[in-house]
Structure 1
Amino acid sequence: MDNDILTALIVGVPSIIAIATAAVLVGRRRSTDSDHEAATRSRPEGASSSTGTLVEPRPAEAEPEAPGAEVEELPDLSQAPPVETPAPATGRLARLRDRLSRSGSPLGARLLTVLSRDHLTEDDWDELEETLLLADVGAGPSGELIDALRTQVRVQGVREPAHVRAMLREQLLALVDPSLDRSLATAPTPRAAADGAAPAEGEPSTSPAVVLVVGVNGTGKTTTVGKLARVLVAEGRTVVLGAADTFRAAAADQLETWGSRVGVPTVRSERDGADPAAVAFDAVRTGVSRGVDVVLVDTAGRLQNKAGLMDELGKITRVITREAPLSEVLLVLDATTGQNGLNQARVFAEVAGVTGIVLTKLDGTAKGGIVIAVQRELGVPVKLVGLGEGPDDLAPFDPEAFVDGLLGD
């Protein structure tokens, strides 16, 4: 009898344990499914369930005490960390003008040298056009400038250096087009309910300006987002960053570092390859709930084919605009890539609804004519230019200061 009981226990206990374990696993699975359903219920159709995580600016770490040093009161790390104060953006382009002047840009110096000759031959005019083309002005604008200069030289007989400089300045400025609106739309907009009525009590009354930043990798796109955050902070704006470039492992870390330096939080994914649209949506929703002025969204810079790019950027745009309207779509271009950069720009302009250009690596380059070419090609203005490697080397584009820099003024 005792043997029978012992046998039953040996056989039955494992079965009981297995049944209990299965019950626990089923319970956990149901709980997980329920949590997943709750987390995705409010997410718009088209965005994956991969949520972005809000990362606050990291507090500065306290320095370790030296042996025998006098004990000092440690900083309160529960408070906001000390942050950098970015330099004002006003006047930054003066530095670019100085750098262009020192670089001896052929677009200014060589043009003036040729135009000041006593008699201009056809070879001289060909030299002028070649100089413009080498500076990436583009065939169409170069031809227009040469025709205008020919007319003025023939009709007015311009020869004096001061008159030649004034004439060339006028024509270059016309090509750069100072009449274009180069302001950034960074003001919050009134928020309305889905039926057009005013928001309910307790809901946000405004939506932040949403700036989507696009461009291929290698142009300095993520760095530009970080520098633009500094420009906005210097202007007194509140900002949230969205790290929607989820395919490049270092992009989110890089953006988070930029944000921490000026006290700006970043919304990012906890894993590589997450849905960019979901991260962008969460960044905008965070901006709305916090009542910030601007949400800057960094996107992936892959340029595999137009169809894939269109699908990805189209999805991001659709998901974002269900929470807040897009204010700007900025295309970042490397000024040193010339006509190759224009080929990339055409694709992005077709699929992303670009509203402005950011030209990086423009400091001291002889390729300043790309400003003219890209505006003519895309029909949108250059709004910002990168002046160098420093954290505050991003400036609003000023046509007159730029042309004066090319001419060495």
Structure 2
Amino acid sequence: MRRTVFGAEHVTFRATVRAFIEAEVVPSFTRWFDDGLVPREFYYRLGELGILGLEVPVEYGGSGIDSYLHRAVLSEEIARAAVSFGGSSAHVSRCLPLLKDLATEAQRARWLPGFVTGETMFALAVAEPGTGMEAAGMRTTAPLSLDRTQYLLNGSKTFVTGGVHADRVIVCARTAPPRADDPTYGLSLLVVNTDAPGFRVGRALDTLGRKVSDTAELTFTDVRVPVTDRLGIADLGLNHLAAQLPHERLGIAVGAYAQAKAAIRFACLHTAQRSPATAFQTTKFELAACRAELDAIEAMVDRALHAHDRGELTAADAASVKLFCTETAGRIIDRSLQLHGGFGYLADSPIARLYADHRIDRIQAGTSEVLRTVIAADMGL
């Protein structure tokens, strides 16, 4: 079936991105993979190409695109080559929506021009050692100073994508006690300068997949954050984060589709090269079954992309698309790896990278179990 979600401008953008990846990313990716992160200079290159500023308003140096479709094309092309753009994924997909929705005009003027060029890379720090994303257990604190001009930040965060290279980190910290009927109250979002005294990057985390995502632990010891660097309304930070979940879950679903599509591509290439493997009926049937499941994911993703651009993607919709796409993609990628035989078990093979990279998709931004709860609630169950 012919896809109708993309237009001529997306076809042109796809060709540009694919050429860039093949010329400048693929030749260097093995080294980046071994190092565990991309070079800091790579983000400047993404800025030059306009990739970091696709959805940033024109007045701040961006392209002002009010659609997720270009970002979807980018996800597909990155997965197609089984590479990664490092921590820029969090910079764009998790931090930019918060900045666009919550930043004041003065904050946008300070932060977004550097965001577009790659001079100011952002990361988001919410999870904590031992408690994860649980609001009730969040121990990072940031009480107001007596003169109410700054917050004093203390604590630690973990699983921070882009944490090593970040210039600014959006930190979720407790700025007031929780309410008896609302444990999420009292959490605020503070935009912390990584050059501030007391800010320290801890160990880089050795994750199963996404080896170049620059995932790190961060600690804060009496870090002073000006009140003017608070993002959004004081003490309602978790509400702000929750409002971004449909967007974030759509992005993960799009990425899962892209990875599944790439996995089938690699499986077809591998089996074709190992003739007469493709002559086996079982191999053909397995690839055909994967293709049929991919078609189902594609239809759901495209419908969700249309809904998102119309402003109609609900929280339950996003939960449903993420649940279905990540679970189905997991099966497709696993079966595609199986068709590689022992070659699929080599850590540096494209299919193995896809297999490891995808596994977090059923965990981040709401586990599959949490998503089922959201969908059930929407059903009145």
Whether TM-score is above 0.5 comes out as no
The interval holding the TM-score normalised by the smaller chain is: under 0.3
Larger radius of gyration: 1
Give the TM-score normalised by the residue count of structure 1: 0.23
Give the TM-score normalised by the residue count of structure 2: 0.24
